[in-house]
Structure 1
Amino acid sequence: MPPTLASLLRNPALKLAVLAGGDRLEEAAVRWVHTSELDDPAPYLEGGELLLTTGLKLDVGSPEALGQYVARLAGAGVVGLGFGVGVSHDAVPQALVDAASAHRLPLLEVPHRTPFIAISKAVSAEIAADRYKAVTAGFEAQRELTRAALAPDGTTALLSRLAAHLNGWAALYDASGAVVAAAPEWAGRRAARLAGEVERLRGRPAPASAAVAGPAGTEDRVELQSLGTGRRPRGFLAVGTEERPDTSARYLVHAAVALLTLSLEQSQALQDTQQRLGAALLRMLLAGEPEHARTVAGRLYGGLFDAPVRVLVAEAAERVEAAGDAVGLLAERVETAGMRSAEPVLAVRDEDRLTVLAAAEGEVVPSCVAAVDGSDDLVAGLSAAVGAAGVPAAHEQAERALAVARRRGRSLVEHDEVGSGSVLPLLGDDAVRAFSDGLLRPLREHDATARGDLVASLRAWLSRHGQWDAAAADLGVHRHTLRYRMRRVEEILGRSLDDPDVRMELWLALKSGG
């Protein structure tokens, strides 16, 4: 800490004596020493000074003038007044002592044998020693952070040491803004409540920083720092403290930012390599070679290929301009979910598409579902659970579910919905509607220009599975009339209603657009 008036008084070489303000000596930190004989030196002060004077120009015979003099010093932020005796005055004027006591301004008597320069040198030496100590402690703290970063659980260890040195808390977020690690453990909940602030910082190119108020109910002052060297941040660091960080604390935070950025960049290089390996493994699985994939994967993907898995295929919604960002954030969320749950997961990104292979009973799939379901930025399809040999079929299921999600205007469709639900919702595609209109147009044109109600009659006949009496009763006509109408349908369409494929196409046309 910087020198105080108390530390100067403890210096035996200075032989200073306290005449007023003795109760404030320990708290009076001295930033510098200034000598002035002006009766109003306040305009030339910055605050935090120990002012030295011999009282050469002071009106010592006027208590009022001395009171105003002391008031001006106190207002300028002077931490103490040193009065040199034996030059202009043999003793410190009592009126000055009284004024200093009234304003609680420490007043020191400087003996004639103590030159003012000696006090300046003493303060300078203490300031230099304090700064050297701070620099040394800062270097040692940075070395601690570096050693922590090299530990097996480097990120958590680094955050723990950083929080301890700052007497606060620290948290690391991934690129999507999810909390990856925090120290102490309770800080994770506090850090999660700053998601909105992190989101705002995420929109700015890295590196960027922001100072924000802590979560409601706390007195924290939080520093947010983005991590990464590219346009898009790879993560974020949050540091919460009750007091504003001093210079040494800021140096320490900057060191942590550098170490975490380096770690993330190295992790990105490893992720790129793993991504290429993952793409190769996915091709093997889709080619029906699960044993080869298992051999190549080795221990990297653990038991992923030994238990049921599900396949998710996600793309950016067509209406999203920043398509790549949406898919990229989902990929990062998948990675974070895998790390948190210690689950192996295969995530392969190709342009604006992401294919995820994850344990059917794990936590990654629900995390993906939560990220996609209801999203305006993504659309995805999810397969049923299969073994490694069934990955090709699961991939086809996910692709079909994705296509259905796009047609229905939904963000997520699971294969079970497609497989167990009605086929009719699948007929909303524009191509199906065009087919329906083309097939039924001749019948509609006939009904518009002549009597016969061929479309309605065809619908009733097909719905009754070709039963003449039942269909005629539904229409309120004689069965012979219905037979005549069905012959006209065959003549106009040029197709036989005895053909089951024709009946199927006509029924689907009627259901989709008729």
Structure 2
Amino acid sequence: MPPTLASLVRNSSLHLTVLAGEDQLERPVRWVHTSELDDPTPYLEGGELLLTTGIKLGGTGTGTGTGDGDEALRAYVHRLADAGVVGLGLGVGLSHTEVPRPLVEAASERGLPLLRVPQPTPFIAISKAVSAALAAEQYEAVTTSFEAQEELTRAALGKDGTAAVVRRLAARLGGWAALYDATGALSLAAPDWAARRAARLAGEVDRLRRRPAPASAALQGRPGGADTADEDFVVLQSLGADRRPRGFLAVGTEARLSPTERYVLNAAVALLTLTLERSRDLRRAEERMGTALLRLVLAGETATAREVAAVLYGGLPEGAVRVLLAQAARGEEDEGDPLADLADRAEQAAGRAGERLLVARDRSAAEERLVLLAQDGGAVHGDCAAAAEEGDALALGVSAATVTEQAGAAFAQAERALAVALRSGQHLVDHDEVGTGSLLPLLGDEAVSAFAEGVLRPLREHDRTARGDLEASLRAWLSRHGQWDAAAADLGVHRHTLRYRMRRVEELLGRSLDDTDVRMELWLALRAGDR
């Protein structure tokens, strides 16, 4: 604890007497400064105990007079209080036989502690007492910090190290602590009762997720407009060393953290970051192993893949499975690394649900993709689908449910579904939707749009410069399957007029409308132009 005015008053060797501000004696003293200036505030930072003999101060020595000197004393006190001085000590016996009453009255008005320093007590004795207390505080802080660091390090190296660090941190701070995974989901809280408080921070954690690691935020009071009877001071800190948060730590205490407690928090953040952040070489090695294992599965070497996976991952997904194929959506280059975020989210979901998962990067295609072999309808399947639907950074293709032995065929299904998602601008496409849906979503491709524009250009140029409305006439005629009367009625013209227009269409396009392939291409061109 830092020295306070109360601790100085309790020091019997100093013989200090409190004349004003008795209820403010618990203020910490950060330094002692001696000054005989009428205005020493330019040389103060705040938090000092100012000592003076009052040589330059006005007022009467007996403390019973009035006049301009007394007003100067009051102004002097107000200047010190405004500057953040924690206390004023007046040495009597030299300039003043006693502390002037206006000084006492002004100090009482401002709530500024005023101490009488008797002549036998040298100012340097007070300075030494404060310096010794500050040195003791610093030594205690260093000792406490090292003890806490050793305790947290032992906890990190023990069984269930991450949870142990969180529990020890909460105990050290006399409050609560909570750990969130990379997706912002609450992983654990200590003590157990803190889980409900930690859950209220979901919005703040989500905002911190959008900032590069390391990042932090400080909150006063419980979030979400909750009852403030036991409001906390909360500090949030992201965990990660390569700008991608691997998790988040929150601590809540009744009072703001002291410098020593902040050191303890920083030590916990460093240990948790080391725990969550695996080395880059290890991550690359794991990625290569996952890719090799995936290739075995897709090639039909399921028996070999099971043997390898049993050692590395505890086995492959069992029962009905799906292949999920994800790719960053076009035009989302500024969204960080959505594939890495999806991989983290999938692994977190698998860990929470106890599901087996195979996930790997696929760099064989023109655009990098993420491949996941996951349990059908499981937590990973659901979380990946939710991730695709939540934003614009991902496109996800999902195969039909199958068994691991048929993963190669399922991968092809996921590729087709992903292609549809990318072409149509959808975030998520299931293979079942591809088989039962329409071809029209496929017409959004740039090449198809360019083809449609080229085919229909002669008709559109004609319609801009002459009468006839050939494009609308062609659309009506095709939509009525070549039925002249029905199409003419839709257009509100005579069937002979429509026949004339269709001959002009053939002349301008250089194609015969009797050809079924030509009619099909023209209809698709019209629909692609619509999209």
Q: Could you say whether these structures have the same fold, taking a TM-score greater than 0.5 normalized by the shorter chain as the test?
A: yes
Q: What secondary structure is seen at the aligned counterpart in 2 of 1:266?
A: coil
Out of 123, 133, 142, the residue aligned to residue 116 of structure 1 is 123
Out of 196, 204, 228, the residue aligned to residue 194 of structure 1 is 204
1-structure distance, mates of 2:479, 2:427: 39
Which residue of the partner structure matches residue 482 of structure 1?
none
Which residue of the partner structure matches residue 24 of structure 1?
24
Extract unaligned runs of 5+ from structure 2: 456-469, 471-476, 484-494, 496-510, 527-531
Out of 266, 269, 294, the residue aligned to residue 282 of structure 1 is 294
Residue 310 of structure 2 corresponds to residue 298 of structure 1: yes
Aligned partner letter, 2:6: A
Q: Do the aligned partners of residues 315 and 118 (structure 1) sit closer, same or farther apart at CA in structure 2, a change above 3 Å counting?
A: same
Q: Do the aligned partners of residues 347 and 39 (structure 1) sit closer, same or farther apart at CA in structure 2, a change above 3 Å counting?
A: same
Which residue of the partner structure matches residue 319 of structure 2?
307
- Give the CA deviation at 1:88: 4.3
Which residue of the partner structure matches residue 355 of structure 2?
343
Which residue of the partner structure matches residue 73 of structure 1?
80
Aligned partner letter, 1:129: A
Aligned partner letter, 1:60: T
Aligned partner letter, 1:20: A
What is the root-mean-square deviation in Å for CA atoms of aligned residues? 4.0
Residue 22 of structure 2 corresponds to residue 10 of structure 1: no
- Give the CA deviation at 1:353: 0.2
Out of 347, 356, 376, the residue aligned to residue 372 of structure 2 is 356
- Give the CA deviation at 1:422: 4.8
Contact 1:201/1:209 (8 A) holds in 2: no
2-structure distance, mates of 1:226, 1:457: 59
1-structure distance, mates of 2:257, 2:20: 33
Which residue of the partner structure matches residue 225 of structure 2?
217
Q: TM-score, normalised by structure 1?
A: 0.76
2-structure distance, mates of 1:386, 1:89: 97
Matches within 5 A, 1:254-269: 254-266=266-278, 269=281
- Give the CA deviation at 1:297: 1.2
Out of 424, 427, 430, the residue aligned to residue 408 of structure 1 is 424
Deviations 1:260-282 (A, max 9, x none): 33223326554433322221221
Residue 89 of structure 2 corresponds to residue 82 of structure 1: yes
Out of 134, 138, 141, the residue aligned to residue 134 of structure 1 is 141
2-structure distance, mates of 1:323, 1:4: 52
Residue 390 of structure 2 corresponds to residue 383 of structure 1: no
1-structure distance, mates of 2:519, 2:313: 49
Deviations 1:118-145 (A, max 9, x none): 1111111111111211221122222232
Which residue of the partner structure matches residue 105 of structure 1?
112
Contact 2:49/2:86 (8 A) holds in 1: yes
Q: What secondary structure is seen at the aligned counterpart in 2 of 1:249?
A: helix
1-structure distance, mates of 2:305, 2:159: 28
Q: TM-score, normalised by structure 2?
A: 0.73
Deviations 1:345-377 (A, max 9, x none): 111112320100111142110000111136422
Q: Do the aligned partners of residues 322 and 52 (structure 1) sit closer, same or farther apart at CA in structure 2, a change above 3 Å counting?
A: closer
Instruction: Compare 374-383 and 360-369 and name the one that shifted more.
Output: 374-383
Q: Do the aligned partners of residues 434 and 150 (structure 1) sit closer, same or farther apart at CA in structure 2, a change above 3 Å counting?
A: same
Matches within 5 A, 1:200-211: 200-202=210-212, 206-211=213-218
2-structure distance, mates of 1:423, 1:43: 79
1-structure distance, mates of 2:247, 2:208: 10
Extract unaligned runs of 5+ from structure 1: 440-447, 449-454, 462-475, 477-492
Q: Do the aligned partners of residues 100 and 212 (structure 1) sit closer, same or farther apart at CA in structure 2, a change above 3 Å counting?
A: closer
Instruction: Compare 184-193 and 260-269 and name the one that shifted more.
Output: 260-269
Which residue of the partner structure matches residue 35 of structure 1?
34
Contact 2:309/2:316 (8 A) holds in 1: no
Q: Do the aligned partners of residues 402 and 36 (structure 1) sit closer, same or farther apart at CA in structure 2, a change above 3 Å counting?
A: closer
1-structure distance, mates of 2:478, 2:2: 96
Matches within 5 A, 1:141-160: 141-160=148-167
**Percent of matched pairs sharing the same residue:** 57
- Give the CA deviation at 1:28: 2.9
Contact 2:309/2:315 (8 A) holds in 1: no
Q: Do the aligned partners of residues 188 and 86 (structure 1) sit closer, same or farther apart at CA in structure 2, a change above 3 Å counting?
A: closer
